[in-house]
């Protein structure tokens, strides 16, 4: 399996084979799929019922625009750039990605990166901070696992010595500052769509609907989709490559999470800038990285070779 160059501060760690989870049952996978997709379908339906009174074209533009900017802040910035160093860029570009990722309100950048590097070190074992496994195979166990992997792990104490995972990033004063100013970026992510809503509609009502749809609803959507990679993509999907965990490629979240749903591929080749390796595996995050490279704002893009793909592919 390819070396995880993107986690230089994360020492290799394994657990006994008995501690690894068994494949979840069909019932568990189906229930998890419904639990994740039903709220999303409800959110998608809501604008159609509210159109013309509380939701309009400006609100739709703010919702989609803020969703893509802040979701890419997580997928391209926090994940592929900072966690795995899948490509290189200028310090000022890194700072901007740190700001956009922070506006998704999933925690300060340095802590987010440290937790995710630990996840890769101990994926789907008891030491994994947000695995959905290990909570029992009953319905109650399923609910516990879903809650824990989705958001419950945020309320757990931090693992000891978490800073050792981000020594490389702490060496940059700009990135330390970006992470320290997390509350400011959170406020900016809410104020910006509210101000734009007011300016575009020339009304106070536009301020409030901009805050609601471009701020609060957008936060719910980004949280739900990106955290589903922790839960759904370790329970439901297919596994084209070998890995020592239950990571899976999930078509639904391959689309909604801008390429992050090709999760088994990512765990097989963690430093790859591209997660969707086949033509039909849409990977918007990689498209953005490629665009940056064409503009001279990204370089040293890491991609698996044909030999690596052949070696890790399941037969």
3-state SS, one letter per residue, for 25-92: CHHHHHHHHHHHHHHHHHHHHHHHHHECCCECHHHHHHHHHHHHHHHHHHHHHHHHHHHCCCCECCHH
Q: Is residue 257 part of a domain?
A: yes
pLDDT at 245: 81
SS3 content of the chain, % helix, strand, coil (to 5): 60, 5, 35
Structural domain includes residue 168: yes
Q: Is residue 231 part of a domain?
A: yes
Report d(CA 99, CA 78) in Å as an integer: 10
Q: CA–CA distance from 231 to each of 28, 147, 215, 298 (Å)?
A: 11, 9, 24, 31
Whether pTM > 0.95 for this model: the answer is no
Question: Please, are residues 179 and 112 in contact by the beta-carbon 8 Å criterion?
Answer: no
Task: Give the Cβ contact number of residue 133 at 10 Å.
Answer: 25
Q: State residue 129's pLDDT score.
A: 73
Is there a domain that residue 36 lies in?
A: yes
Name the token pair of 166. 């981000």
The answer to whether position 305 is within a domain reads yes
Q: In the chain, what is the greatest distance between 2 CA atoms, to the nearest angstrom?
A: 62
In a domain, 5, yes or no: no
pLDDT at res. 1:
35
User: For residue 278, what pLDDT is reported?
Assistant: 94
Q: What is the pLDDT of residue 6?
A: 36
Report the helix count and the strand count for the chain, using DSSP H and E: 14, 0
First to last CA, the chain: 15
Element (H or E) spanning 174, and its range? helix 173-180
Query: Is 13 domain-assigned?
Result: no
Residue-wise pLDDT tens digits, 204-221: 999 999 998 999 889 889
Map tokens 């370790």 to a residue. Answer: 234
Nearest to 124 by CA among 1, 289, 237, 234: 234
Give the count of domains, the chain. 1
Per-residue model confidence (pLDDT) at position 138: 66
What is the reported pLDDT for 5? 36
Give me the phi and psi of 58, to 5 degrees please.
-60, -45
Measured distance CA(146)–CA(136) in Å, rounded: 11
Q: What is the dihedral of CA 245, 246, 252, 254, to 10 degrees?
A: 10
Of 133, 173, 177, 152, which Cα lies nearest the Cα of 29? 133
pLDDT per residue over 47-106, tens digit each? 766 676 778 899 999 999 999 999 999 999 999 999 999 999 999 999 999 999 999 988
**Which range, of 24-38, 105-119, 200-214, 269-283, averages the lowest pLDDT?**
24-38
Highest mean pLDDT, choosing among 147-151, 209-213, 295-299:
295-299
pLDDT in tens, 1-58: 333 333 443 444 444 433 434 444 566 456 545 555 555 666 666 676 667 677 889 9
Domain assignment of residue 44, yes or no: yes
Q: What is the DSSP letter of 155?
A: G
Query: What is the Cα–Cα distance from 1 to 12, expressed in whole angstroms?
Result: 13
Per-residue pLDDT, 272: 98
The answer to whether 105 and 186 have CB atoms below 8 angstroms apart is: yes
The answer to whether 24 and 246 have CB atoms below 8 angstroms apart is yes
Supply the range of the domain harboring residue 272: 30-312
What integer best gives the mean pLDDT of the chain? 84
Reported as a pLDDT band with limits 50, 70 and 90, residue 170 is: very high
pLDDT of residue 141: 66
Tokens at 195, concatenated: 């101000």
Q: Are residues 65 and 269 in contact, defined by beta-carbon separation less than 8 angstroms?
A: no
Query: At residue 95, what are phi and psi to the nearest 5 degrees?
Result: -60, -45
> Residue 150 — very low, low, confident or very high, per pLDDT cuts 50/70/90?
low
């Amino acid at each position: 399996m390819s070396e995880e160059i993107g986690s230089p501060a994360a020492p290799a760690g394994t657990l006994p084979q008995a501690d690894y989870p068994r494949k979840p049952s069909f019932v568990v996978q189906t229930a998890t799929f419904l639990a994740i997709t039903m709220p999303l379908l409800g959110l998608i339906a809501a604008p159609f019922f509210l159109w013309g009174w509380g939701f309009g074209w400006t609100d739709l533009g703010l919702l989609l625009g803020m969703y893509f900017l802040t979701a890419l802040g997580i997928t391209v910035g926090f994940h592929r750039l900072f966690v795995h160093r899948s490509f290189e860029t200028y310090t000022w570009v890194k700072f901007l990605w740190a700001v956009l990722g922070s506006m998704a309100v999933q925690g300060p950048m340095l802590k987010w990166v440290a937790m995710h590097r630990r996840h890769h070190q101990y994926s789907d074992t008891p030491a994994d901070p947000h695995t959905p496994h290990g909570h029992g195979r009953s319905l109650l166990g399923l609910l516990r696992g879903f809650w824990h992997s989705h958001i419950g792990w945020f309320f757990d104490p931090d693992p000891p010595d978490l800073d050792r995972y981000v020594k490389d990033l702490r060496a940059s004063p700009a990135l330390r500052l970006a992470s320290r100013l997390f509350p400011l970026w959170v406020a900016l992510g809410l104020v910006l769509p509210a101000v734009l809503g007011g300016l575009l509609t020339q009304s106070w009502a536009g301020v409030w609907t901009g805050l609601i749809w471009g701020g609060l609803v957008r936060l719910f959507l980004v949280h739900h989709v990106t955290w589903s990679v922790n839960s759904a993509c370790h329970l439901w999907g297919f596994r084209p490559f070998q890995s020592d965990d239950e990571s899976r490629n999930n078509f639904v979240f391959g689309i909604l999470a801008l390429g992050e749903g090709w999760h088994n591929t990512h765990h097989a080749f963690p430093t790859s800038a591209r997660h969707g390796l086949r033509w039909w595996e849409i990977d918007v995050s990689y498209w953005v990285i490629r665009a940056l490279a064409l503009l001279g704002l990204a370089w040293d893009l890491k991609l698996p070779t044909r030999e690596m793909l052949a070696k890790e592919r399941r037969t």
